[in-house]
């Protein structure tokens, strides 16, 4: 196996591999990509070859194995401090970490937890639907996320288009949610729409999206027609 490998799944349907992939690209760190398709008879067996959880992402670097997306992002940041994947200001960095942990720990039971978006709106990068009507629970999650993004932009984002000005792990952990909002044509306030457009225009994410659109296979469970969630 090469010295640096990121194990991912389908780019069109992947959730957590996107964040470390973006961080590797943002840091200009060379790596090989191992893609294991979802929905195959031996998908889990293949993933177990690279990760003790049988899930992706998994990151292999010089004999070290890391199997959690946020931990991988943290490790990439420590290896590449010049990439500034965390804000330099200590207070901003603490807030960025808190937010990123919250996006990562989507199982929270509090009102507005991002899990309602994740569990109701499947990742499907290349898909486009009519505007999906949201249930009260999902709308509450969207409103909560919008408020969070707006507060971060207002407090820390004055020097650029991202949450903390320049691209950070906090943006990497938000990217899969941005993709969902585009896929399902979710109505957003103008300032948040501008943030989403900045993320979608970020060259590494453009690269991921282009590659996702070239994947010819389909995961039928993520292709179900929905009009309300």
* Contact criterion met (CB below 8 Å) for 162 and 198: yes
Predicted pLDDT of residue 229: 77
* Contact criterion met (CB below 8 Å) for 229 and 132: yes
Predicted pLDDT of residue 131: 94
Label the pairing between strands 32-35 and 4-8: parallel
Q: Where are the domains of the chain?
A: 4-82, 85-214
d(CA 94, CA 66): 23
CATH of 4-82, one of 3.40.30.10, 3.30.1490.20, 3.40.250.10, 3.40.50.2300: 3.40.30.10
d(CA 161, CA 174): 14
**Among residues 25, 28, 23, which one has the least CA distance to residue 66?**
23
d(CA 157, CA 164): 4
**Among residues 99, 95, 16, 93, which one has the least CA distance to residue 59?**
16
Predicted pLDDT of residue 89: 97
* CA of residue 161 relative to chain centroid, distance: 17
d(CA 94, CA 107): 21
d(CA 59, CA 65): 6
d(CA 225, CA 229): 11
Q: Which fold has domain 85-214?
A: Glutathione S-transferase Yfyf (Class Pi); Chain A, domain 2 (1.20.1050)
Q: DSSP characters for 30-99?
A: --EEEE--TT-TTHHHHHHTT-TTS-S-EEEETTEEE--HHHHHHHHHHH-GGG--S-SSHHHHHHHHHH
* CA of residue 107 relative to chain centroid, distance: 16
d(CA 195, CA 182): 12
Predicted pLDDT of residue 106: 65
- Summary count for the chain: helices (H), strands (E): 10, 4
Domain 4-82 shares a fold with domain 85-214: no
Predicted pLDDT of residue 220: 86
Phi, psi for 174 (deg, rounded to 5):
-95, -15
Tell me the pTM: 0.95
d(CA 148, CA 185): 20
Q: What is the mean pLDDT of each run of 10 residues along the chain (229 residues)?
A: 88 95 98 96 97 97 96 98 98 97 72 78 94 92 94 98 98 96 97 98 98 93 77
């Amino acid at each position: 196996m090469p010295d640096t490998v990121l194990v991912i799944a389908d780019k069109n349907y992947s959730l957590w591999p996107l964040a470390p992939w973006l961080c590797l690209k943002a840091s200009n760190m060379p790596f090989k990509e191992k893609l294991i398709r979802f929905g195959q008879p031996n998908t889990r067996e293949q993933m177990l070859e690279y990760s003790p959880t049988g899930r992706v992402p998994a990151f292999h670097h010089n004999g070290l194995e890391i199997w959690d997306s946020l931990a991988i992002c943290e490790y990439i940041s420590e290896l590449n401090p010049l990439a500034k994947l965390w804000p330099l200001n200590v207070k901003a960095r603490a807030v960025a970490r808190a937010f990123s942990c919250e996006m990562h720990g989507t199982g929270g039971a509090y009102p507005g937890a991002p899990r309602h978006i994740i569990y109701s709106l499947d990742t499907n990068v290349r898909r486009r639907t009519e505007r999906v009507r949201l249930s009260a629970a999902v709308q509450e999650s969207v409103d909560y996320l919008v408020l969070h993004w707006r507060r971060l932009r207002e407090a820390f984002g004055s020097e650029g288009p991202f949450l903390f000005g320049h691209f950070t792990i906090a943006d990497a952990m938000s990217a899969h949610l941005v993709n969902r909002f585009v896929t399902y044509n979710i109505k957003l306030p103008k300032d948040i729409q501008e943030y989403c457009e900045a993320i979608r225009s970020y060259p590494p994410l453009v690269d991921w999206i282009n590659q996702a659109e070239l994947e010819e296979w389909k995961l039928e469970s993520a292709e179900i027609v929905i009009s309300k969630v």
